[in-house]
Chains A and B, each alone.
Chain A
Amino acid sequence: MSLLEIKNAKLKLNDKDILKGLSLSVNKGEVHAIMGPNGSGKSTLSYMLAGRGGYDLESGEILLDGQSLLEMEADERARSGLFLAFQYPVELPGVGGMSFLREAVNSRRKFLGKEELDHLAFVKEARKVASKMFVKDEMLKRAVNVGFSGGEKKRFEILQMAMLKPKISILDETDSGLDVDALKIVSDGVNAERNDDNAIVVITHYQRLLDYIVPDFVHILSDGNIIKTGGPELALEVEKNGYAGLINAA
């Protein structure tokens, strides 16, 4: 059984067809990259999976570990182990990073039937993970994403992923706005979380991220459908020839 199964997903926004019968299977232990030009439906796909209001499927099915996500609200999907690293992480003025993380982690733990972490245990764990991501204590004390640089925002996203230990992570344009050094830190963080029990879907414009997070499969998304699937070499082909050739060939 696949960990994540998208079957014939169709979705409209403002009466316009955005996803047109998209299907995708992701198994445990795999990393999939979804590449595509602007307007191909990449962000819609991530919002749809995460259950954002207004992004409901017209038809089709999504299963996480065999369980349908369609009847679940966004927060239930998150607690069930679906994580979305945002392209544009949202600012929460006045909400301290540490307390935000703690609420999130304890919501997930509660769902899993584990004991909630007390304050001390949590801070210890958070600091350990944060240091791996080169996130300073001082940043965790600041309000979530407020005044963070582009790199800090993305590192904080991956820090949350590492703390929440999701089954499936969707990284939406995680490389956007990152310089090479920050890209390496973020990628190392993601790679450290790869294991045989989870899976990662990387959504990106560019091949460059895939040098650091090496995918098992690369899918080309165009006009609401996956038009081609291959290995890492497919990404190199995109880099060399652009999307146009692939799209025309399809």
Chain B
Amino acid sequence: MVATQETIDKVNEVSSTYKYGFVTDLESEKAPLGLSEDIVKFISNKKQEPKWLLEWRLKAYKKWLSMEVPNWAMVDFPEINFQDIYYYSAPKTKPKLNSLDEVDPELLKTYDKLGIPIKEQEVLAGVAVDYVFDSVSVVTTFREKLAKEGIIFCPISEAVQTYPDLVKKYLGTVIPIGDNYYAALNSAVFTDGSFVYIPKGVKCPMELSTYFRINEQNSGQFERTLIIAEDNTYVSYLEGCTAPQRDENQLHAAVVELVAMNNAEIKYSTVQNWYPGDKDGKGGIYNFVTKRGNCLGKKSKISWTQVETGSAITWKYPSCVLKGDDSVGEFYSVAVANNAQQADTGTKMIHIGKNTKSTIISKGISAGMAQNTYRGQVQIQKSAKGSRNFTQCDSLLIGDKCGAHTVPYINQFTPQARVEHEATTSKISEDQLFYCLQRGLDTEQATSLIVNGFCKEVMKELPMEFAVEAQKLIGISLEGSVG
């Protein structure tokens, strides 16, 4: 409990600006600027990858060259020069670490500043953490304890070496290399990420967590996560992300693939707080992420929970493909966009198996000049008899210069299914604000309270430690937006 309180206090201390905007002075090793076949080979070589993976990457690279930047999302940004990005950057430390004592102290300090020190994370009851700094996984905690249960939790680069069969069997099966422009790019140049394997019948005894951090200037972050849950398993996985405050935009194009077998449940939670850029929209992260889960087995369940407060642009649609009969997909999302931020986010629920169920709860909050779009697809295939979907999209507007948009796509190919869609748009009323002020809360406290109330259905899906952080984060992101 003491550690939890410390975390809360640390989060409480945050000032009104982006508190993660510092840069850590670490020696790093980079690939030459830009992207070419040679760079793909360079990365693969650095990681001493098997030949099949290099070929896989090169295939993705060729595919990427033939593709075009998607332009259907409601976001607006200048063309990205993909030759002006470093595709590989790694802190110069020993590649493999056995304990925290071997971690570069500068790096530990960084995580300390992030408000969630590694040491503390270790004592927080049951959270195993993988830290990914720029492109490289730095330290993974609790591995031995997990190994006793047969659970694999390690950097994906390591899994490629140690468990090549598993990686080869599943990599790219949920999100094929040519799925979309950014997924193809990621497949060509991904540098690290987390790998999780839960063997049959095992309920993972603790939350698994990854902390992503972009530190280097002009570097992109392309992590790749693969989670496989065998029959009768359960795993809850959390990811958090931050980046320094920089004037130029940085690209983050991750891919996350989940596979759930019979009666397996994967709960995937994200608190995304990449640097959003300044008030006028200068700088910030382009968060172009592809996340998808395959519910392959009967009665399998995949649940996405996301709290998105950061990034200049968010382009992200964590999805579920419900193949197994009676499988369940869930999507709980809070997307906050303030100042010049743009968010186009939502989900896809593809119902294939019989009696599959999906629930979508999306809460969009727009303030300043921000544009916030919910874009979601619910597809009920002919085979998906007896399936059900429930979608609820609520938008909250703060101020009169922002926008909220809801774009649902519903395709139903069997009459024996039920799809429901509800949507509301509201504003924080003057009555609500005055009521709070009259009880002694200042405008910012009041806004934070009302907004968190608005998001409650989603916040309660987050694991406890994350929920506290996420609540504060939402308050901070909206500071100065009212009054």
Say yes or no: A53-B430 contact (C-beta < 8 A), given A89-B435, A94-B455, A95-B449: yes
Instruction: Provide the bound-state CA to CA distance between A103 and B435, in Å.
Output: 13
Residues of A within 8 Å of B439, CB to CB, are 78, 100, 103-104, 107, 160, 164
Q: Chain B nearest CB: distance from A99 CB in Å?
A: 8
Confirm or deny: A58 has a beta carbon within 8 angstroms of a beta carbon on chain B.
no
B123 adjacent to chain A (CB < 8 Å): no
Complex Cα gap A103–B439 (Å) = 9
Partner of A108 from B437, B440, B455 at Cβ < 8 Å:
B440
Q: What's the Cα separation between A186 and B431 when bound, in Å?
A: 23
Known A90-B431, A90-B432, A90-B435; contact A95-B440, beta-carbon cutoff 8 A: no
Q: A107 to B441, Cβ gap below 8 A?
A: yes
Q: Which residue of B lies closest to A111 (CB)?
A: B440
A 78-93 to B, binary, CB cutoff 8 A, 1 in contact else 0: 1100011010011111
Whether A75 contacts B440 by the Cβ 8 Å rule is yes
The count of residues in chain B whose C-beta lies closer than 8 Å to any C-beta of chain A is 24
**Which residues of the partner chain A approach B22 to less than 8 Å between Cβ atoms?**
none
- Given A78-B439, A79-B440, A86-B435: A103 touches B449 (CB 8 Å cut-off): yes
For A84, what are the chain B residues with a Cβ–Cβ distance below 8 Å? 438
Contacts A53-B430, A103-B445, A107-B445 known; A92 to B453 CB distance under 8 Å?
yes
Q: Is the CB of B449 within 8 A of A92?
A: yes
Pair A52/B434 contact, Cβ less than 8 Å: yes
B453 touches A95 (CB 8 A): yes
Flag B305-322 by CB within 8 Å of A: 1 or 0 each: 000000000000000000
Contact A95 B452 (CB under 8 A): yes
Question: A91 to chain B: which residues have CB within 8 Å?
Answer: 432
Question: Is A133 close to B, CB under 8 A?
Answer: no
Inter-chain contact A53/B434, CB cutoff 8 Å: yes
Q: Is A6 an interface residue (CB 8 A)?
A: no
Q: Is A74 an interface residue (CB 8 A)?
A: yes
CA distance A136 to B445 in the complex (A): 26
Task: Give Cα A107–Cα B452 distance, bound, in whole angstroms.
Answer: 18
Interface string of B443-478 (1 = CB under 8 A from A): 101100110111111000000000000000000000
Q: For residue A103, which residue of chain B has the nearest CB? A: B441
How many interface residues does A have (CB within 8 Å)? 29
Q: How near does chain A come to B13, taking the closest CB pair, in angstroms?
A: 15
User: By the criterion CB–CB under 8 Å, are B453 and A143 in contact?
Assistant: yes
A73 to B455, CA, bound (A): 28
- Give the CA-CA distance A64 to B432 in the complex, in Å: 25
A50 within 8 A of B: yes
Most B CB atoms within 10 A — which of A73, A91, A94, A164? A94
Knowing A93-B454, A94-B456, the reply to whether A50 touches B438 (Cβ < 8 A) is: yes
> Cβ of B442 < 8 Å from any Cβ of A?
yes
Q: Which residues of A contact B442 (CB under 8 A)?
A: 75, 107
A78–B439 Cα distance when bound, in Å, is 6
Say yes or no: A75-B453 contact (C-beta < 8 A), given A86-B435, A90-B432: no
Question: Within 8 Å CB of B438, what residues of A?
Answer: 50, 74-75, 78, 83-84, 86
Q: Is the CB of A75 within 8 A of B435?
A: no
Render A14-51 as a binary contact track against B, CB cut-off 8 A, 1 for contact. 00000000000000000000000000000000000011
B-chain residues with CB within 8 Å of residue A53 when the two chains form the complex: 430, 434
SS of B interface (majority): helix
Contacts of A75 in B (CB 8 A): 437-438, 440-443, 446
Contacts of A90 in B (CB 8 A): 429, 431-432, 434-435
Contacts of A100 in B (CB 8 A): 439, 449
* Distance between A139 CB and nearest chain B CB, rounded to angstroms: 16
User: Which of chain A's residues 50-86 have a Cβ closer than 8 Å to chain B?
Assistant: 50-53, 73-75, 78-79, 83-84, 86
Closest beta carbon of chain A to B394's beta carbon, Å: 10
A95 to B441, CA, bound (A): 14
Q: In the assembly, what is the distance between CA of A4 and CA of B273, in Å?
A: 48
- Residue ID in chain B nearest A81 by CB atoms: B440
Q: How far is the CB of B392 from chain A (nearest CB, A)?
A: 13
Contacts of A99 on B, CB cut-off 8 Å? 449
CA of A249 to CA of B456, assembled, Å: 56
- A70 and B439 CA atoms in complex are apart in Å by 18
**Contact call A92/B440, Cβ cutoff below 8 A:** no
CA distance A78 to B449 in the complex (A): 17
| Chain A window 122-157, contacts with chain B (Cβ cutoff 8 Å), 1 for yes, 0 for no | 000000000000000000000100000000000000
Shortest beta-carbon distance from B223 to chain A in Å: 33
**Cα–Cα distance between A186 and B191 once the two chains are bound (Å):** 65
- Looking across the interface, which residue of chain A has its beta carbon closest to that of B457? A94
Contact of A92 with B450 in the complex, beta carbons under 8 Å: yes
Contacts of A103 in B (CB 8 A): 439, 441, 445, 449
Select from chain A the residue with minimum beta-carbon distance to B449: A95
**Shortest beta-carbon distance, A92 to chain B, in Å?**
6
Report how far A100 CA is from B439 CA in the complex, Å: 9
25 contacts between A and B (CB under 8 A): A52-B434, A53-B434, A74-B437, A75-B438, A78-B437, A78-B440, A79-B440, A83-B438, A86-B435, A89-B435, A90-B429, A90-B431, A90-B432, A90-B435, A91-B432, A92-B435, A92-B436, A93-B454, A94-B457, A95-B449, A95-B452, A104-B439, A107-B439, A108-B440, A111-B440
8 more A-B contacts (CB under 8 A) besides A90-B434, A92-B450?
A: A52-B434, A74-B437, A78-B440, A92-B436, A92-B449, A94-B453, A95-B449, A100-B439
Residues of B within 8 A of A (CB): 429-432, 434-443, 445-446, 449-450, 452-457
**9 pairs of A and B residues whose beta carbons are closest in the complex:** A94-B453, A94-B456, A95-B453, A107-B440, A104-B439, A90-B435, A74-B437, A78-B440, A75-B437
